[in-house]
Homo-oligomer: A and B are copies of this chain.
Amino acid sequence: MRATFLYGANDVRVDQIEDAKILKPTDVVIRTVVACVCGSDLWDYYSKTPDTVGVAKGHEVIGTIETAGADVRNFKAGDLVVVPFVASCGYCDYCQANQQTSCRNIEYFGHGGGGACQAEMVRVPWADGTLVKLPVEIDSPLMPSLLTLSDVLCTGYHAAKSANVQAGDTVVVVGDGAVGLSAVIAAKKLKAERIILMSRHESRSNLGREFGATEIVADRDEAGIQVIRDLTNGDGATRVLECVGTQSAIDLSIAITRDYGVIGRVGAAQYESIPMNFGTVMRNIGIYGGVAPARAYIEELMPDILEGRINPGKVFDQTVQLDDIAEGYKAMTERTAIKTLIRF
């Protein structure tokens, strides 16, 4: 089978390797229908020291089950399934509490954590705890939107749920990448009254408006803080969804959160600490969130896609065949693509 590996900075290749196979009786092997490139796939793309051994890439995938292990009960060969970006056992206390990213038996895809999903076949551990069946055909036009259930839509939703977005809230979304745009969808689903998207890229802000953003703010840092304050009676927003992960994004998020408001953060922190000091104590600012338990949200979000209420697949503004995946990495790095869909 063909699979994607990163060998060094800007050096993504598709190699021919041995087919994925069942290693444990709770595994399945799927044949990939669609996959995609995540912002987190780019973390080491700029900087990786060249090596003769590549790192397997990708953690977002839809596929049909090729082989099911002997202990898999809920799935059989031929089922079309979406794979959340971590494999979780389904029976430990964290899984039972829908906190699957802390599963006691967790297995990661990609990031050097075993198999990877930008590949023709994928071994999925803990199939019963991890997979969700898709009630569509493999040629469904909904496939891009359903693929966002693997990660990005659920991550945006986790930001909104962590910030406890309620009907009538004013929400600011920090970050106009695929996660930020998904957070706009999430805030709208939760009936926020105002959704202010911080975005300085026209194609992204246009998509943000289509997804439900009521206002766009192109300024950043101090200027951005001032504009948000001006838009919110000087107070800031009750809910701020931090979808970037940089120090400046989290600092900005604190500055624009209204007293007693909450920041839902899902940006992978590149910062070491958050300036939550005496001032934020006096203001009762809260922060919650983290890596999203995608599995927890799939059943809740899927009907919105199937019934046409949301169309998160629009974040894919580039589609390539697997052999051309390096083009996708390049385009996302150069920000000429928001997110790249991989066809097989």
Contacts and interface: CB of A to CB of B under 8 A. Distances in A.
Contacts of A267: 281
Contacts of A274: 273-274, 276
A270 B281 CA distance: 10
A260 B97 contact: yes
Contact of A282 (B260, B278, B280, B291): B291
A94 B99 CA distance: 33
A286 B283 contact: no
A155 to B, nearest CB: 11
B291 A265 contact: no
A287 interface: yes
A271 B260 contact: no
A282 B290 contact: yes
**Chain A interface: which size bin?**
35 or more
A336 interface: no
B269 A278 contact: yes
A289 B262 CA distance: 10
Interface in A252-286: 259-260, 262, 265-278, 280-286
B284 A277 contact: no
A284 B290 contact: yes
A170 interface: no
A102 interface: yes
A292 to B, nearest CB: 9
Interface string A86-102: 00000000100101011
A162 interface: yes
